[in-house]
Amino acid sequence: MYDVIIVGGGIIGCALARELSRYNVRLALLEKEVEVGFGTSKTNSGIIHAGHHSPPGTLKGQFEWSGNQLWGDLAKELKFGFKHIGELLIAQKREDLQYLENLKKQGDSRGVTGLEMWGPKRIQKEEPNLSHTILKALHAPTAAVINPYEACFGLIECAKQNGLELFCDHPVQSIKRERDNFSIATPRGSFRARIILNAAGLFADHVAAMVGAKTFSISPRKGEEYLLDRRLQGIVTHLIFPTPTATSKGVLIIPTVDGPTMVGPTAEDIDDREDLSTSYSGAADVFAAVRKTCPAISERDTITEFAGLRAVSESNDFIIKRSPVKNFYNIAGIQSPGLTAAPVIATYVINMLRDNDLSLVKKQTWKADIDGPPRFAAMSPKDRKAAIHKDSAFGQIVCRCELVTEAEVLYAIKHGARTLDGVKFRVRAGMGRCQGGFCTTRLMDLLAQADEIPLSEITKRGKGSEICIQRHDIIPKKDDR
């Protein structure tokens, strides 16, 4: 029997897990994927919004600025990359200028710091590769970038060291109400809980329907993103936002926290909640929009592409409330700025639980910090020499593009990586120009040795994404020789 079970291990579920691990409650998290952060969070743009975008009178607007201010401390505690690079929201049409003025007023009223209107001369001085057709830009220095999957791993590792029990590869099949408790069935066992927090992302409405608590619907909205070759690093130094549309913030130019530039996303409403395909039309739309903003960027610079699905509710706002079913809470419809708002959403939910008579007594031994992965590429020559002297595995380069060593890969495996993507998202092996062309076989060897399994069981991101198949020797018939 658990006091609380969280369903869903995306950025929201992981933030909830860490926040709840502060208290003396028996806590578990069930995630349907083989590792946390492998759903929508993995394909998030990684932007910590400046705090002025979301409309007033919404939970999005309420949480955006307060969430922005928490990520710097979280990054220090959980040892993931974080950079304040600021953003420019640009206007290329005269009819867009009033939108910039209105957004600045909205940000000023919220207390967002440093907002400035820039004219063409300042824009060209700061970002010489942007189009000369830009009339004005709203500069917001509080915007930042992170890797959302690194944040998920850090949050969940902290929660685990403080008592969370994590069960990946445990999709919820059914939930039954039993007196004052719930019984949750998964293919790998059953669980009982007093309270359920439904943070199941794209499938939150399905999970809610299992207990008759579906008061909302979720629709998937696909966004395609394109990662560019590292040689374009520095082509822009700020996040570049166009004036948004009714359904999207538009196609962005994103200098990622690790250096390479990313462009996207698209915004396409679809029906299939499993459709992560990219398309020629998506690429055409993205690069046509980007060329208007930054003519020097070309689709020929792409080294990889991927798609993610946003969980969109009918209200187009976050759904964070107690359901009609006692002790069942929905945390759903978490799209942009959901990443930014995640730590505030977690504390908001904790206060909801406290207001509904859950006894929350803080632990005396709760530990905020984790060690975090080593980063050989970021070390000085002196530190690299010392690391190799201490552990010879630092002297073995596994991924040449990103300069990732065997020691780092072994760290990732020790800390929960069971797939190629699990290693890649923890230590960047396979993220460079060759996209794993050099390092994949070595990564497979290390995973197979650590888990004592055959190479045929190594997957990219879980069952159904095996890299190779086991071939049994076939003795040809005499007539076939």
Active site residues: 49
Pairing type for strands 239-241 and 189-198 reads unpaired
Number of other residues whose CB lies within 10 A of the CB of residue 125: 9
Residue from 460, 368, 372 nearest 414 by CA: 372
Straight-line distance from the first to the last Cα atom of the chain, in angstroms, rounded to the nearest whole number: 63
- Confirm if 398 and 443 have CB atoms less than 8 A apart: yes
**209: enclosing H helix or E strand:** helix 204-209
**166: enclosing H helix or E strand:** strand 165-167
Burial group, residue 314, by CB count within 10 angstroms (0-12, 13-18, 19+): exposed
d(CA 168, CA 464): 16
- Confirm if 373 and 408 have CB atoms less than 8 A apart: yes
- Confirm if 138 and 119 have CB atoms less than 8 A apart: no
Its sign, for the CA torsion 149, 152, 154, 157, is negative
178 DSSP β-pair partners: 181
